[in-house]
Structures are given as C-alpha cells and as structure tokens.
Amino acid sequence: MTHILHIDASARPGIAGTDNHGSHSRHLTYQFVSQWQSSRPQDTVTYRDIGQNPPSIISHDWIASAFAPEEHRESWMKDALTESDHLIDELIAADIVVIGTPLYNFGMPAALKAWVDQVVRPGRTVEFDDTNPIDPYIPKLTDRKRHAVVLTARGGVNMAPGEEMAHMNHLEPHLATALAFIGITRVHYIAIEGQEVGGEVLAKSVAAAIQKVETLVEELQVALESTPSPQPA
C-alpha cells in the first residue's frame, strides 16, 4: 500500500476552474491525488494545507533545540521541536510527496520555505559526518525509494530549465536541492505557465499540464507496483 503526503502551498484557497480566483497549483494536486485514489482506493493520503495554515518560522529556540544532542535537550527544547517532529513524521511516512506550489517573486512561497526549514533538520532527516569537513552531510531518508511530485503554477512563460526565462525561476532548483539534501532524489516536475498572460496561452498550458499529470500517475503506479515492499528486519 502506498502512502501520499499531499501539500498545497498556494495562498489561494480555491481550485482554478472551479472557484473564482482559484489556484492552478491546487488544481494540479487535486487532479493527481483524485486520479491516484480512483484507481488505487486502498492507498492512503495525508493532506496538509500550508497555504492556509503555514508552519511556524524557525526561531532562536528552534535552532538551539535542533542542534542540541537529543539526550541533552531540556523540556522547553522538546516543546520547541514538536511541530517539526510532526511534520517530519508525516514526511518519513510518505512514499510520494505531492507538492503544489506557485512561483512567487522568483521562488517558493514563504509558507513552503517555512515547511522546508522545519523538515530539514539534523538528527532527523540529515546527519553530519565530522570526519568529512568538505562534504559532511548524510541524507537520512534513503531507507526506500520515495518520490516527490512538484506541481507548480507560474505567471510567466518559458521558465523551465534551459528556456529563455529560466534564470528567473528559483523554485524548482531550491526544492530539488532541499529534497536531495535529505535523501529524496526522484523528483518529477509539471508546471502551468502563462497565468499572467491568460487566454489561449494559459488554456493550452493547463490542458498540457493536466495530461502530463494523468500520464505521471499511470507511470508511478506501474513503477511502485514493480518495486518490492520493504520487509521487516
């Protein structure tokens, strides 16, 4: 059985095509998850709407607690990490992380950055090897083949890697770096472009993105069915 962590980061609560001023990234994540569940109802989903309920921004107490050895943490330190622990537990439990996010001012929304900061944490998702000062980072989420599906919406066009306006898009590269840092390297990207242009440009991009989502769902279901489930030690 596959478990999906579904995250929506858009500040817009509605779904494009259904609600006034709805979110195109939410449209894509809804399409992905609903299609997945329609053919695999036995699979489970955890939903987190960080666009409407943003994670806390990390604080001095969070930093002091996260970098303190677990055996030396005082009760206030454990309290400071409660939210982080919960978000990390959700991430660890997932086989597929579906992230719906717009591109805001060249990068990710503040709510998604807050989530990244909460889940990239020493001792939980990454370790440090003191004997290797050049590259001391050891990702911890390598126990199985997790996938991340990043479904984005952009106001501009031609912002994918290698295209004319790619230099203005720091969203996907940032997420790719953060996810790989903790051990999630199988990342799939689908984007809607032209939201600010509108008209036929946007309509064609939406239709193409929906088709890509449908194809990706089918491909991932086949891939996961052919992957042996981890066995208890």
pLDDT per position as a tens digit, 119-129: 999 999 999 99
Write the pLDDT tens digit of every residue in 128-170: 998 998 889 999 999 999 999 999 999 999 999 899 999 999 9
Alpha carbon separation from 2 to 36, 81, 84, 177, 219 (Å, rounded)? 10, 28, 23, 25, 14
Query: Looking at the predicted structure, is the pLDDT value of residue 233 above 60?
Result: no
CATH number of 3-225: 3.40.50.360
pLDDT tier, 229 (very low <50, low <70, confident <90, very high otherwise): low
Angle at the Cα of 11 (from 7 to 17), degrees rounded to 5?
Answer: 85
Q: Which residues are annotated as a binding site?
A: 10, 23-25
Q: Assess whether pLDDT exceeds 80 at residue 195.
A: yes
What residue numbers does the annotated binding site for FMN cover? 10, 23-25
Nearest to 14 by CA among 47, 48, 45, 52: 52
Tell me if 70 sits within 8 A of 123, measured CB to CB.
yes
Residue 71: Cβ within 10 Å count: 5
Each residue's pLDDT tens digit, 69-112 = 999 999 999 999 999 999 999 999 999 999 999 999 999 999 99
Enter the pTM of the model: 0.93
Domain boundaries, the chain: 3-225
Is residue 59 scored above 90 in pLDDT? yes
Q: What is the mean pLDDT of residues 164-187?
A: 96
> Rounded mean pLDDT of 190-197?
93
Mean pLDDT of the 170-179 span: 97
Q: What average pLDDT score do residues 34-56 get? A: 97
| Per-chain mean pLDDT for the chain | 94
Using the predicted structure, report yes or no on whether residue 114 has a pLDDT greater than 70.
Answer: yes
CA distance 95 to 1: 9
Q: Does 228 have pLDDT greater than 80? A: no
**What is the pLDDT, as a whole number, of residue 227?**
66
188 within 8 A of 216, measured Cβ to Cβ: yes
Q: How confident is the model at residue 232 (pLDDT cuts 50, 70, 90)?
A: very low
**6 CB-side CA count, 13 A:** 19
